[in-house]
Amino acid sequence: MIKFVLDIRKKKILFLLKTPTKFYLNKKENIIMSMSNSHTRSLQKKKKIKTQFLINKLKRKEKTNSIFHQRI
């Protein structure tokens, strides 16, 4: 497969690389970028960790709230 970065504003392909890819939109620079599979996997891991972190945070919040209510 061919890997490339596409500039949306100019509708131009900026550069090419021959590797299997997935694409994502870089909102800051407004370009569609491609990434290698390993990079996608690491992003998914990060996302998973973040969601788990948020779940734990919510659980902690619930615990503290229940303790607070019991005191009243």
pTM (predicted TM-score): 0.28
Nearest to 32 by CA among 6, 60, 1, 59: 6
pLDDT of residue 56: 72
Q: Block means of pLDDT (10 residues each) for the chain, length 72 residues? A: 54 51 54 53 60 68 56 49
pLDDT of residue 19: 46
Q: Cα(18)–Cα(24) distance, rounded to whole angstroms?
A: 17
**Three-state SS at 11:** coil
